[in-house]
Structure 1
């Protein structure tokens, strides 16, 4: 699937056009990029090597507001239906192959022919890993994965997860977004978030409430773990460096880090003490320190 959409779906800029695009991206705080008649919102900040930042399910790009990585230009993407990107009611727009194709086009538009990295949390990390494994993009230098799964290897277990995701999607569609937020926030995986400050908890709540039941259902059906291919056996063969970060109290994803990612020589797995699934929100300074240490060999688009 490598670079399959280079000529069919991705616009090829001539030198003059690309210079104009880069000038806009350099000056803007945020941009809207249209792909297949839907608009993606991307917030931009910082200077240096491009870093594409992908949020989790029912989240948005502003989850990365406390991310501080000197020497990098952050492109914080709102997935379709999330944040202030378009909220298409076409389920095809949320299917994995469409999401990956749009991500490829989005990245090409944002960074052109520059080397870049991708940071992804939870669903965003899962999609980033799928993208790296299926497209093998030549200019992708590294992945930063936070609490992300490589898919479900056992076919029976994957089918069971797909059925569970479908049941949840139907339930979400038949309830209000307030019901979803209350239900989602009580999941055991987010238990550690209840110790965060009231202001941070309110910010997380507001992001979840900004979604619609229809979009969340489409997302579950299109890119839920039951619909995601298993790529754990491809991680060691990826020609890029990977940082995998998990919270000590998130035993599920810490085990994934140890048993899948930890076996690969191109992966560094860091377990953060006393936090759960959402490390960058629960321990933002520690997360920044870990990421900056990992990226210390990258400086202004050059690899030392």
Structure 2
């Protein structure tokens, strides 16, 4: 369904609509609500609401980069929650969606009862790092708009971060590829420019202020994000870190059943 906000038309998908307690699921860069299909069907005790973030899926992809800042995305998300009459939610985010979830919890702490962050970070710690990353993301954004989606996806699916996905069944790999190919050039390019890791403000110094339960989920083979999660856990007030064996960055894709079990266990605790 489409939710009309002041900022954009936002696509949402809902499972178990008759239930009250709600888990919001936010996808990563190049993703959409479809990424949660196999996880959502395994969680039957909660209403699941997946949202296409700005520039992704069936949500609008404006040409104005100002619409893509993390601050704008957080405000847009809050508009969606208000229209869906959601007052307090469990917020789950993967990678880029995890950064959005963390940013939302910082901005609206009373609206989130629990955070579940999959392969996510609070951004880059130092301005020098952010400057280098912004330059890299701008270059990638330009390539997407010049060369098109297929050229970009051919390269993106072969970066080291996704090496472990090459072991997945061919139908799963094809579904991930088709999801990426369904995106728009301007949406992905502006997403990088507006709320890429280099563009967003660092939230490392804010982690100690978050006093709700936080579950950090990482794949054993994704060493970089395992280390980030350990550093985050040390700064958060109520955090636990779950490492899933034999998977990489996208645990919900590589082992959706175990990921769903971890989510259900986290909520029960």
TM-score range, shorter chain: over 0.9
- Equivalent positions of 1:160-199 (< 5 A) are 160-199=132-171
For residue 64 of structure 1, the aligned residue among 36, 39, 46 is 36
- The residue aligned with 1:45 is 15
- The residue aligned with 2:247 is 275
Task: Give distance in 2, aligned partners of 1:172 and 1:56.
Answer: 17
C-alpha contact (below 8 Å) 1:236/1:266 kept by paired residues? no
C-alpha contact (below 8 Å) 1:143/1:242 kept by paired residues? yes
Task: Give distance in 2, aligned partners of 1:58 and 1:36.
Answer: 24
- The residue aligned with 2:100 is 127
User: Following TM superposition, by how much is the alpha carbon of 1:263 offset from its aligned partner in structure 2, in angstroms?
Assistant: 4.3
- SS of 1:153's equivalent? coil
- The residue aligned with 1:36 is 6
Residue correspondences, number: 265
- The residue aligned with 1:111 is 85
Task: Give distance in 2, aligned partners of 1:265 and 1:97.
Answer: 24
- SS of 2:12's equivalent? strand
Task: Give distance in 2, aligned partners of 1:230 and 1:72.
Answer: 32
Change (3 A) 1:256 1:276: same
TM-score normalised to structure 2 length: 0.94
CA shift digits 1:269-293 (9 cap, x unpaired): 0011110000011011111111111
C-alpha contact (below 8 Å) 1:246/1:271 kept by paired residues? yes
Unpaired stretches in structure 2, ≥5 consecutive residues: none
C-alpha contact (below 8 Å) 2:153/2:177 kept by paired residues? yes
User: Following TM superposition, by how much is the alpha carbon of 1:53 offset from its aligned partner in structure 2, in angstroms?
Assistant: 0.8
TM-score normalised to structure 1 length: 0.84
C-alpha contact (below 8 Å) 1:50/1:111 kept by paired residues? no
Task: Give distance in 2, aligned partners of 1:228 and 1:184.
Answer: 21
Unpaired stretches in structure 1, ≥5 consecutive residues: 1-30, 298-304
Task: Give distance in 1, aligned partners of 2:188 and 2:231.
Answer: 30
Task: Give distance in 2, aligned partners of 1:197 and 1:262.
Answer: 36
User: Following TM superposition, by how much is the alpha carbon of 1:262 offset from its aligned partner in structure 2, in angstroms?
Assistant: 4.0
For residue 186 of structure 2, the aligned residue among 211, 214, 237 is 214
Tell whether 2:86 aligns with 1:102: no
C-alpha contact (below 8 Å) 1:262/1:268 kept by paired residues? no
User: Following TM superposition, by how much is the alpha carbon of 1:198 offset from its aligned partner in structure 2, in angstroms?
Assistant: 0.6
For residue 250 of structure 1, the aligned residue among 213, 216, 222 is 222
Larger radius of gyration: 1
Task: Give distance in 1, aligned partners of 2:101 and 2:232.
Answer: 16
Task: Give distance in 2, aligned partners of 1:139 and 1:192.
Answer: 35
- The residue aligned with 1:19 is none
- SS of 1:74's equivalent? strand
- The residue aligned with 2:118 is 146
C-alpha contact (below 8 Å) 1:40/1:85 kept by paired residues? yes
